[in-house]
Amino acid sequence: MIKVDNLVKTFGPKRAVDGISFTVERGEVLGFLGPNGAGKSTTMRMVTGFIPPTAGRISVGGHDVVDQPIAAKRLIGYLPENAPAYADMTVLGFLSFAAEMRGLTGEARRKAVNRVVEMCFLESVVHQSVDTLSKGYRHRTCFAQSIIHDPPVLILDEPTDGLDPNQKHEVRTLIRRMGEKKAIVFSTHILEEVDAACTRAIIIDRGKIVANGTPEQLRSRSEQAGAVALRVAGIPAADVTAKLRELPTVRKSQVLAEAAGFATVRAYPNPDGRNGALQESLFELAVRQNWKLAELRTEEGRMDEVFRSITLPDTMPAANKTEESK
Protein backbone atom coordinates (compact mmCIF):
# COMPACT_ATOMS: atom_id res chain seq x y z
CA MET A 1 0.00 0.00 0.00
CA ILE A 2 2.76 2.43 0.91
CA LYS A 3 5.93 2.46 -1.12
CA VAL A 4 8.70 4.89 -0.24
CA ASP A 5 11.76 4.95 -2.42
CA ASN A 6 14.98 6.76 -1.59
CA LEU A 7 13.26 9.68 0.10
CA VAL A 8 15.32 12.81 0.79
CA LYS A 9 14.37 16.07 2.48
CA THR A 10 16.78 18.89 3.07
CA PHE A 11 16.11 22.01 5.14
CA GLY A 12 18.83 24.39 4.08
CA PRO A 13 22.13 22.58 4.62
CA LYS A 14 20.58 19.98 6.93
CA ARG A 15 19.52 16.63 5.51
CA ALA A 16 16.56 15.84 7.73
CA VAL A 17 15.71 12.69 5.79
CA ASP A 18 18.52 11.05 3.89
CA GLY A 19 17.59 8.26 1.50
CA ILE A 20 14.87 6.36 3.31
CA SER A 21 13.13 3.45 1.55
CA PHE A 22 10.48 1.09 2.90
CA THR A 23 7.21 -0.55 1.98
CA VAL A 24 4.15 -1.32 4.06
CA GLU A 25 1.49 -3.78 2.93
CA ARG A 26 -2.05 -4.27 4.13
CA GLY A 27 -2.06 -6.18 7.41
CA GLU A 28 1.24 -4.70 8.52
CA VAL A 29 1.87 -2.33 11.40
CA LEU A 30 5.18 -0.59 10.97
CA GLY A 31 6.72 1.05 14.01
CA PHE A 32 8.93 4.06 13.44
CA LEU A 33 11.55 4.42 16.14
CA GLY A 34 14.23 6.97 16.56
CA PRO A 35 15.55 9.70 18.82
CA ASN A 36 14.00 13.17 18.66
CA GLY A 37 14.90 14.97 15.47
CA ALA A 38 15.79 11.76 13.64
CA GLY A 39 13.40 12.56 10.78
CA LYS A 40 10.35 10.51 11.77
CA SER A 41 7.84 13.35 11.58
CA THR A 42 9.38 14.78 8.42
CA THR A 43 9.08 11.39 6.72
CA MET A 44 5.45 11.08 7.78
CA ARG A 45 4.66 14.60 6.59
CA MET A 46 6.06 13.72 3.19
CA VAL A 47 4.12 10.45 2.98
CA THR A 48 0.88 12.28 3.78
CA GLY A 49 1.64 14.93 1.17
CA PHE A 50 1.94 17.83 3.61
CA ILE A 51 5.48 18.72 2.56
CA PRO A 52 7.01 17.85 -0.80
CA PRO A 53 10.15 15.66 -0.82
CA THR A 54 13.44 17.09 -2.08
CA ALA A 55 14.07 13.83 -3.93
CA GLY A 56 12.65 10.32 -4.06
CA ARG A 57 9.24 8.84 -4.74
CA ILE A 58 6.29 7.99 -2.52
CA SER A 59 3.29 6.07 -3.70
CA VAL A 60 0.20 5.25 -1.68
CA GLY A 61 -2.20 2.67 -3.09
CA GLY A 62 -0.50 3.04 -6.47
CA HIS A 63 -0.93 6.84 -6.56
CA ASP A 64 2.14 9.03 -6.53
CA VAL A 65 1.77 11.47 -3.64
CA VAL A 66 3.39 14.33 -5.56
CA ASP A 67 1.70 13.82 -8.94
CA GLN A 68 -1.73 12.63 -7.79
CA PRO A 69 -2.03 14.12 -4.32
CA ILE A 70 -5.82 14.07 -4.07
CA ALA A 71 -6.19 10.41 -5.04
CA ALA A 72 -3.42 9.44 -2.60
CA LYS A 73 -4.76 11.58 0.24
CA ARG A 74 -8.20 9.96 -0.07
CA LEU A 75 -6.66 6.66 1.03
CA ILE A 76 -4.77 8.10 4.00
CA GLY A 77 -5.87 8.85 7.52
CA TYR A 78 -3.37 11.03 9.37
CA LEU A 79 -2.81 11.92 12.99
CA PRO A 80 -0.21 14.71 13.04
CA GLU A 81 2.19 15.19 15.94
CA ASN A 82 0.59 17.01 18.92
CA ALA A 83 -2.90 16.15 17.61
CA PRO A 84 -4.06 19.54 16.32
CA ALA A 85 -7.79 20.30 16.22
CA TYR A 86 -9.88 23.41 15.60
CA ALA A 87 -10.17 24.97 19.05
CA ASP A 88 -13.41 26.83 18.40
CA MET A 89 -15.42 23.76 17.36
CA THR A 90 -17.21 21.11 19.38
CA VAL A 91 -15.96 17.54 19.10
CA LEU A 92 -19.08 16.65 17.14
CA GLY A 93 -18.69 19.64 14.82
CA PHE A 94 -15.03 18.83 14.24
CA LEU A 95 -15.68 15.19 13.41
CA SER A 96 -18.60 16.11 11.14
CA PHE A 97 -16.34 18.54 9.32
CA ALA A 98 -13.67 15.85 8.90
CA ALA A 99 -16.30 13.41 7.58
CA GLU A 100 -17.63 15.94 5.11
CA MET A 101 -14.14 16.73 3.88
CA ARG A 102 -13.79 13.02 3.20
CA GLY A 103 -16.87 13.10 1.01
CA LEU A 104 -19.29 11.64 3.55
CA THR A 105 -22.63 13.43 3.72
CA GLY A 106 -26.05 12.97 5.28
CA GLU A 107 -26.69 9.58 6.82
CA ALA A 108 -23.23 8.22 5.93
CA ARG A 109 -21.64 11.13 7.78
CA ARG A 110 -23.78 10.62 10.86
CA LYS A 111 -22.93 6.92 10.94
CA ALA A 112 -19.21 7.54 10.49
CA VAL A 113 -19.18 10.08 13.31
CA ASN A 114 -21.05 7.77 15.65
CA ARG A 115 -18.70 4.92 14.84
CA VAL A 116 -15.52 6.81 15.69
CA VAL A 117 -17.06 8.46 18.76
CA GLU A 118 -17.75 4.97 20.06
CA MET A 119 -14.37 3.53 19.02
CA CYS A 120 -12.44 6.34 20.67
CA PHE A 121 -14.63 6.64 23.79
CA LEU A 122 -15.65 10.23 23.14
CA GLU A 123 -19.34 9.95 24.11
CA SER A 124 -18.98 12.10 27.20
CA VAL A 125 -17.40 15.06 25.41
CA VAL A 126 -19.14 15.21 22.01
CA HIS A 127 -20.79 18.55 22.75
CA GLN A 128 -17.76 20.04 24.44
CA SER A 129 -15.61 22.57 22.62
CA VAL A 130 -12.18 21.31 21.63
CA ASP A 131 -10.21 23.94 23.56
CA THR A 132 -11.79 22.81 26.85
CA LEU A 133 -10.71 19.19 26.37
CA SER A 134 -7.96 17.55 28.37
CA LYS A 135 -4.93 16.46 26.40
CA GLY A 136 -6.00 12.83 26.32
CA TYR A 137 -9.42 13.66 24.92
CA ARG A 138 -8.03 16.07 22.37
CA HIS A 139 -5.62 13.42 21.25
CA ARG A 140 -8.37 10.89 20.84
CA THR A 141 -10.53 13.42 19.01
CA CYS A 142 -7.81 13.93 16.47
CA PHE A 143 -7.25 10.19 16.29
CA ALA A 144 -10.99 9.76 15.63
CA GLN A 145 -10.69 12.25 12.78
CA SER A 146 -7.97 10.14 11.17
CA ILE A 147 -10.08 6.96 11.04
CA ILE A 148 -13.42 8.59 10.22
CA HIS A 149 -13.39 7.46 6.60
CA ASP A 150 -12.05 4.00 7.49
CA PRO A 151 -8.92 4.55 5.39
CA PRO A 152 -6.82 1.64 4.11
CA VAL A 153 -3.66 3.54 5.09
CA LEU A 154 -3.12 5.07 8.49
CA ILE A 155 -0.21 7.33 9.42
CA LEU A 156 0.01 8.09 13.13
CA ASP A 157 2.65 10.42 14.53
CA GLU A 158 3.10 9.53 18.20
CA PRO A 159 -0.45 8.30 18.74
CA THR A 160 0.06 7.57 22.43
CA ASP A 161 1.85 10.77 23.35
CA GLY A 162 0.26 12.46 26.36
CA LEU A 163 -2.11 9.62 27.21
CA ASP A 164 -2.34 7.92 30.58
CA PRO A 165 -1.33 4.23 30.81
CA ASN A 166 -4.89 2.97 30.35
CA GLN A 167 -5.47 5.12 27.31
CA LYS A 168 -2.11 4.08 25.91
CA HIS A 169 -3.16 0.48 26.24
CA GLU A 170 -6.49 1.16 24.51
CA VAL A 171 -4.86 2.95 21.61
CA ARG A 172 -2.30 0.16 21.15
CA THR A 173 -5.03 -2.45 21.15
CA LEU A 174 -6.95 -0.38 18.61
CA ILE A 175 -3.90 -0.06 16.38
CA ARG A 176 -3.18 -3.76 16.51
CA ARG A 177 -6.79 -4.60 15.71
CA MET A 178 -7.01 -2.16 12.82
CA GLY A 179 -3.61 -3.34 11.59
CA GLU A 180 -5.15 -6.63 10.52
CA LYS A 181 -6.91 -4.95 7.61
CA LYS A 182 -4.94 -1.76 7.05
CA ALA A 183 -1.41 -0.62 6.35
CA ILE A 184 -0.36 1.35 9.42
CA VAL A 185 2.74 3.39 10.13
CA PHE A 186 3.18 4.85 13.57
CA SER A 187 6.03 6.60 15.27
CA THR A 188 6.89 6.40 18.91
CA HIS A 189 9.78 6.59 21.27
CA ILE A 190 8.22 4.23 23.74
CA LEU A 191 9.96 0.95 23.02
CA GLU A 192 7.48 -1.36 24.66
CA GLU A 193 4.94 -0.11 22.13
CA VAL A 194 6.88 -1.76 19.36
CA ASP A 195 6.35 -5.13 21.03
CA ALA A 196 2.76 -4.35 21.86
CA ALA A 197 1.55 -3.27 18.47
CA CYS A 198 4.03 -3.69 15.59
CA THR A 199 4.59 -6.45 13.13
CA ARG A 200 7.76 -4.73 11.96
CA ALA A 201 9.91 -1.88 13.19
CA ILE A 202 12.33 0.56 11.61
CA ILE A 203 14.86 2.52 13.61
CA ILE A 204 15.80 5.88 12.11
CA ASP A 205 18.75 7.95 13.16
CA ARG A 206 19.92 11.20 11.59
CA GLY A 207 17.66 10.72 8.60
CA LYS A 208 18.80 7.19 7.79
CA ILE A 209 17.36 3.75 8.47
CA VAL A 210 19.75 1.98 10.84
CA ALA A 211 17.70 -1.13 11.60
CA ASN A 212 14.72 -2.83 10.03
CA GLY A 213 13.02 -6.05 11.12
CA THR A 214 10.43 -7.72 13.31
CA PRO A 215 10.56 -6.85 17.00
CA GLU A 216 12.13 -10.28 17.68
CA GLN A 217 14.85 -9.75 15.09
CA LEU A 218 15.68 -6.36 16.52
CA ARG A 219 15.79 -7.68 20.05
CA SER A 220 18.13 -10.50 19.08
CA ARG A 221 20.66 -7.88 18.02
CA SER A 222 20.93 -7.00 21.66
CA GLU A 223 24.06 -8.02 23.60
CA GLN A 224 21.88 -9.49 26.24
CA ALA A 225 19.97 -11.77 23.89
CA GLY A 226 20.72 -15.32 25.01
CA ALA A 227 22.62 -14.27 28.13
CA VAL A 228 21.87 -16.16 31.31
CA ALA A 229 21.32 -14.60 34.71
CA LEU A 230 22.26 -16.67 37.71
CA ARG A 231 21.48 -16.10 41.39
CA VAL A 232 23.43 -18.02 43.96
CA ALA A 233 23.18 -17.99 47.77
CA GLY A 234 26.10 -17.77 50.18
CA ILE A 235 29.03 -17.39 47.79
CA PRO A 236 30.89 -14.14 46.97
CA ALA A 237 30.16 -12.89 43.45
CA ALA A 238 33.87 -12.79 42.61
CA ASP A 239 34.13 -16.54 43.21
CA VAL A 240 31.17 -17.16 40.94
CA THR A 241 32.59 -15.10 38.07
CA ALA A 242 35.97 -16.80 38.52
CA LYS A 243 34.34 -20.19 37.97
CA LEU A 244 32.21 -18.94 35.08
CA ARG A 245 35.29 -17.71 33.26
CA GLU A 246 36.61 -21.24 33.05
CA LEU A 247 33.60 -22.46 31.07
CA PRO A 248 34.11 -22.65 27.28
CA THR A 249 30.56 -21.48 26.65
CA VAL A 250 31.00 -18.17 28.47
CA ARG A 251 32.40 -15.17 26.61
CA LYS A 252 32.27 -12.85 29.58
CA SER A 253 30.44 -12.37 32.82
CA GLN A 254 29.13 -9.45 34.78
CA VAL A 255 28.11 -8.97 38.39
CA LEU A 256 24.62 -7.53 38.52
CA ALA A 257 24.08 -7.40 42.27
CA GLU A 258 25.48 -8.71 45.51
CA ALA A 259 23.29 -8.28 48.56
CA ALA A 260 21.79 -10.18 51.50
CA GLY A 261 23.95 -13.23 50.83
CA PHE A 262 22.84 -13.56 47.24
CA ALA A 263 25.12 -12.95 44.26
CA THR A 264 23.50 -12.22 40.93
CA VAL A 265 25.74 -12.68 37.90
CA ARG A 266 25.09 -12.54 34.20
CA ALA A 267 26.98 -14.71 31.72
CA TYR A 268 27.20 -13.83 28.04
CA PRO A 269 27.41 -16.73 25.60
CA ASN A 270 30.21 -17.64 23.24
CA PRO A 271 29.19 -18.89 19.79
CA ASP A 272 29.16 -22.46 21.13
CA GLY A 273 27.07 -21.35 24.10
CA ARG A 274 24.04 -20.40 22.04
CA ASN A 275 20.67 -22.14 21.93
CA GLY A 276 20.47 -23.27 25.53
CA ALA A 277 24.01 -24.74 25.74
CA LEU A 278 25.04 -21.93 28.04
CA GLN A 279 22.20 -22.46 30.46
CA GLU A 280 22.88 -26.18 30.52
CA SER A 281 26.58 -25.76 31.22
CA LEU A 282 25.85 -23.27 33.98
CA PHE A 283 23.46 -25.68 35.60
CA GLU A 284 26.04 -28.46 35.48
CA LEU A 285 28.61 -26.11 36.98
CA ALA A 286 26.28 -25.23 39.83
CA VAL A 287 25.67 -28.90 40.54
CA ARG A 288 29.42 -29.68 40.47
CA GLN A 289 30.22 -26.79 42.79
CA ASN A 290 27.28 -27.50 45.05
CA TRP A 291 25.98 -23.97 44.71
CA LYS A 292 22.60 -23.09 46.17
CA LEU A 293 20.96 -21.95 42.99
CA ALA A 294 18.13 -19.49 43.58
CA GLU A 295 17.53 -18.50 39.96
CA LEU A 296 18.72 -19.47 36.49
CA ARG A 297 17.12 -17.64 33.60
CA THR A 298 17.91 -17.06 29.92
CA GLU A 299 17.32 -13.44 29.01
CA GLU A 300 15.64 -12.02 25.95
CA GLY A 301 17.20 -9.12 24.16
CA ARG A 302 16.14 -5.71 25.32
CA MET A 303 14.75 -3.26 22.83
CA ASP A 304 16.02 -0.22 24.69
CA GLU A 305 19.55 -1.57 24.62
CA VAL A 306 19.36 -2.23 20.89
CA PHE A 307 17.96 1.24 20.42
CA ARG A 308 20.73 2.85 22.45
CA SER A 309 23.56 0.91 20.89
CA ILE A 310 22.29 1.65 17.37
CA THR A 311 21.46 5.31 17.76
CA LEU A 312 24.45 6.30 19.90
CA PRO A 313 27.46 5.08 17.93
CA ASP A 314 29.72 7.83 19.31
CA THR A 315 29.39 6.89 22.93
CA MET A 316 30.43 3.43 23.99
CA PRO A 317 27.42 1.13 24.19
CA ALA A 318 26.67 0.21 27.78
CA ALA A 319 27.22 -3.49 27.11
CA ASN A 320 30.86 -3.02 26.13
CA LYS A 321 31.71 -1.58 29.50
CA THR A 322 30.94 -4.90 31.15
CA GLU A 323 34.10 -6.23 29.50
CA GLU A 324 36.00 -4.69 32.40
CA SER A 325 34.49 -7.04 34.90
CA LYS A 326 35.89 -10.10 33.22
Per-residue burial over 221-251, b if 16 or more Cβ lie within 10 Å, else e, is ebbbbbbbbbbbeebebeebbebbeebebbb
| Sign of the torsion angle spanned by Cα atoms 62, 64, 67, 72 | positive
Residue type, 130: V
User: How many Å apart are CA 156 and CA 182, to the nearest integer?
Assistant: 13
Among 35, 69, 213, 317, binds another protein (CB under 8 A): 69
Nearest approach in angstroms of CB 69 to another protein is 8
Residue 48 and residue 76 in contact, taking contact as beta carbons nearer than 8 Å: yes
Q: How far is the CB of 269 from another protein (least distance, A)?
A: 48
| Intra-chain end-to-end CA distance of the chain, in Å | 50
Question: Which residue type sits at 308?
Answer: R
Instruction: CB nearer to another protein: give 63 or 172.
Output: 63
Residue 213 and residue 279 in contact, taking contact as beta carbons nearer than 8 Å: no
Residue 76 vs 197, nearer CB to another protein: 76
Among 105, 132, 214, 275, binds another protein (CB under 8 A): 105
CA angle 137, 79, 197 (to 5 degrees): 85
Stretches 25-33, 45-53, 192-200, 292-300: which one binds another protein (CB under 8 A)?
A: 45-53
**Residues 78, 186, 268, 291: which binds another protein (CB under 8 A)?**
78
| 80 makes contact with another protein (CB under 8 A) | yes
Tell me: does residue 104 bind another protein (CB under 8 A).
Answer: yes
- Among residues 66, 89, 255, 296, which is the contact residue for another protein, using CB under 8 A? 89
CB of 73 to another protein, least distance (A): 4
- Which one, 142 or 196, has the nearer CB to another protein? 142
- How many Cβ atoms from other residues are within 10 Å of residue 136's Cβ? 17
Near another protein by CB under 8 A, which window of 100-108, 219-227, 252-260, 287-295?
Answer: 100-108
Q: How far is the CB of 213 from another protein (least distance, A)?
A: 29
Rounded CA gap, 277 and 107, in Å? Answer: 64
Helix, strand or coil, per DSSP, at residue 26: coil
Residue 243 in contact with another protein, rule: CB under 8 A: no
The number of residues that bind another protein (CB under 8 A) is 44
What angle in degrees, to the nearest 10, is found between the helix axes of 106-119 and 135-146? 140
Interface residue with another protein, options 142, 154, 202, 232 (CB under 8 A): 142
CA distances to 58, 81, 247, 265 from 232, rounded to whole Å, are 56, 48, 17, 8
Report if residue 52 touches another protein, rule: CB under 8 A.
Answer: yes
- What's the distance, CA 303 to chain centroid? 9
* Per-residue contact flags (x/-) with another protein for residues 143 to 182, judged by CB under 8 A: --x--xxxxx----------------------------x-
Least CB distance to another protein at residue 105 (A): 7
Binding site for another protein (CB under 8 A): 9, 11, 45, 48-52, 69-71, 73-74, 76, 78, 80, 82, 84-89, 93, 97-98, 100-105, 108, 112, 115, 129, 142, 145, 148-152, 181
